[in-house]
Structure 1
Amino acid sequence: MPSFEPVTAALRVLEVLFALNRLKEASVGDLFRETGLNRPTIVRMLETLIHAGLVARHPSKPVYVTTGRTLELSSGYQKHEEMALAAAPILARLHTALQWPSDVSVFDGDAMVVARTSRSEGVLHFNRRPGYRAPLLGTSLGMAFLAFCDPRTRAQALAALAGSDDPWNAVVHDPETLERLLATVRDNGYASMNKDYSRTSYNGVASAIGVPVLIGGVAVGSLNLMYLRNSLDEADVVARFVAPLRAAAAEIADALSAMRGRQGSGGIP
């Protein structure tokens, strides 16, 4: 638990920066609709971010954009890089074979961070860039990891979600139901996207199945496959794609293990 109350102004600055980063470019009105903060507050936060060199006004449109300096904010985070390197060629082959996009992710406290994706920009709104934080109890990535991770990690992750008001996190307050859900994932060998999360993030048109990336029987990450619900129902997805998805996850685990072995022996820097 935090030792002190958070600085509200700092939280608002970060909220505006996160929203602008998601939108890529935005007016004050866009940021108002995205954050719910009042417009004078948004303007003050933008001016603060401009002063810090993280945001700039667009030269020809009445919108704001992030600057290259925002890249410095991610330079210290390296946990996902190893997974991204191991998974890259496998994700590419999987996408070619199955024709639906996938993400591979690693655990980061209260979410799964997308390390690599085979999604591309397009009208389907499947695009999620590396660094996207997928909710643990809302996504197939999160549920697949939670079901197969070590108990201590699971307990810490669920404790971190206890204060959340997101609808997919309500089950954290019902341990028996949650354990039944996780047991079902373990029995089936795959997880499904929460319907509330699908409605919130994709207007209900998209869903996903996810499997763990296992080393020694313990999850070190997870892999999903996204699909459109009006093109496939979950039974079809399970019948056609769970087996190749699990095979790809096993390949990623082998590549990751081999990479760690070479690092340990000094084979790669």
Structure 2
Amino acid sequence: MPSFEPVTAALRVLEVLRALNRLREASVGDLFRETGLNRPTIVRMLETLIHAGLVARHPTKAVYVTTGRTLELSSGYQTHEEMALAAAPILAQLHAALQWPSDVSVFDGDAMVVARTSRSEGVLHFNRRPGYRAPLLGTSLGLAFLAFCDPKTRARALAALTGSDDPWNAVIQDPASLDRRLARVREQGYASMNEDYSRTAYNGVASAIGVPVLIGGVAVGSLNLMYLRNSLDEADVVARFVAPLREAAAEISGALAGMRGG
């Protein structure tokens, strides 16, 4: 547990930086809608980030952009790189075969971090680049991982989510219900996106199924497939795509094992 209360100004400047990074370029109004912070606060946070060399004003438009210096902030995080390398050709093949985009992810404490995606190549252009943090109990990536990870990792992950007011985390207050949900994922071999998360993140128009990436029967990551709900219902998705998704996950597992010397 932290020893001291957080510095509110630091939390706000990081929130603005994360929002700007997601949007790629944004006006103060865009950041207001994204973060809910008041506009004077956003301006102060942007000025702070400009002084730090992490943000710049666009030369011709009334927007702000991140600078190359932001890459320094992620240079120490390497957990996703191995997964990204192993999965890259397999994701490309999967997308070519199924025509719907996929993400592969690794666990990071209280979320799944997207290591590689094929979203930019498909019909779904939602802003989910590598580095996006997918909620554990909201997404098929998170639920597939939790159902198949080792019990100690699962316990730590759920403890990290205690106190969250996100609606998809409410099930933590009902351990028996959560256990049944994860047991059902294990029985089926796949997870589905939480309805509350679909409504919050995609206005209910998109969903996903996800499967674990297993080594020795234990999840080391997860793989999903996104789809539009007005094009396919979940029964169709399960019937058509769970098997190839599992095959792709097994290929990624084999590639990882090969990279680790078997």
Instruction: Give the TM-score normalised by the residue count of structure 2.
Output: 0.98
CA displacement 1:29-71 (0-9 Å, x = unmatched): 1111111111111111111000000001111111111111011
* Unaligned stretches of 5+ residues in structure 2: none
- Indicate conservation of the 8 Å contact 1:121/1:127, yes or no: no
Structure 1 residue aligned with 2:64: 64
CA pair 201-42 structure 1, distance change in 2 beyond 3 A: same
Question: What CA distance in whole angstroms lies between the structure 2 residues aligned with 1:41 and 1:57?
Answer: 17
Question: What CA distance in whole angstroms lies between the structure 2 residues aligned with 1:31 and 1:228?
Answer: 27
- Indicate conservation of the 8 Å contact 1:137/1:168, yes or no: yes
Query: Which amino acid in 1 is paired with 2:233?
Result: D
Shift of 1:124: 3.5
Shift of 1:126: 3.2
Query: Which amino acid in 2 is paired with 1:97?
Result: A
3-state DSSP class of the match of 2:119?
Answer: coil
Question: What CA distance in whole angstroms lies between the structure 2 residues aligned with 1:113 and 1:134?
Answer: 6
3-state DSSP class of the match of 1:105?
Answer: strand
Question: What CA distance in whole angstroms lies between the structure 2 residues aligned with 1:26 and 1:248?
Answer: 37
CA displacement 1:197-216 (0-9 Å, x = unmatched): 11111111100000000000
CA displacement 1:91-119 (0-9 Å, x = unmatched): 11111111111010000000000011111
Query: Which amino acid in 2 is paired with 1:237?
Result: V
Q: CA RMSD in A?
A: 1.1
Structure 2 residue aligned with 1:81: 81
Structure 1 residue aligned with 2:261: 261
CA pair 49-121 structure 1, distance change in 2 beyond 3 A: farther
Question: What CA distance in whole angstroms lies between the structure 2 residues aligned with 1:257 and 1:126?
Answer: 31
Structure 2 residue aligned with 1:183: 183
Question: What CA distance in whole angstroms lies between the structure 2 residues aligned with 1:20 and 1:253?
Answer: 34
CA pair 259-234 structure 1, distance change in 2 beyond 3 A: same
CA pair 127-31 structure 1, distance change in 2 beyond 3 A: closer
Structure 1 residue aligned with 2:236: 236
3-state DSSP class of the match of 1:101?
Answer: coil
Aligned pairs (5 A) from 1:158-173: 158-173=158-173
- Indicate conservation of the 8 Å contact 2:213/2:223, yes or no: yes
- Indicate conservation of the 8 Å contact 1:144/1:211, yes or no: yes
CA pair 86-121 structure 1, distance change in 2 beyond 3 A: closer
CA displacement 1:197-250 (0-9 Å, x = unmatched): 111111111000000000000000000000010100000000010011001101
Question: What CA distance in whole angstroms lies between the structure 2 residues aligned with 1:214 and 1:124?
Answer: 27
Instruction: Give the TM-score normalised by the residue count of structure 1.
Output: 0.95
- Indicate conservation of the 8 Å contact 1:125/1:202, yes or no: no
Structure 2 residue aligned with 1:18: 18
- Indicate conservation of the 8 Å contact 2:101/2:121, yes or no: no
Task: Please state if 1:155 is matched with 2:155.
Answer: yes
Aligned residues: 262
Shift of 1:123: 7.0
Structure 1's consecutive aligned runs of 4 or more residues displaced over 6 angstroms after TM superposition are: none
3-state DSSP class of the match of 2:109?
Answer: coil
Shift of 1:127: 4.1
Shift of 1:147: 0.1
- Indicate conservation of the 8 Å contact 2:87/2:116, yes or no: yes
CA displacement 1:128-151 (0-9 Å, x = unmatched): 111110000000000000000000
- Indicate conservation of the 8 Å contact 2:12/2:45, yes or no: yes
Percentage of matched positions with identical amino acids: 89
Question: What CA distance in whole angstroms lies between the structure 2 residues aligned with 1:19 and 1:217?
Answer: 37
* Unaligned stretches of 5+ residues in structure 1: 263-269
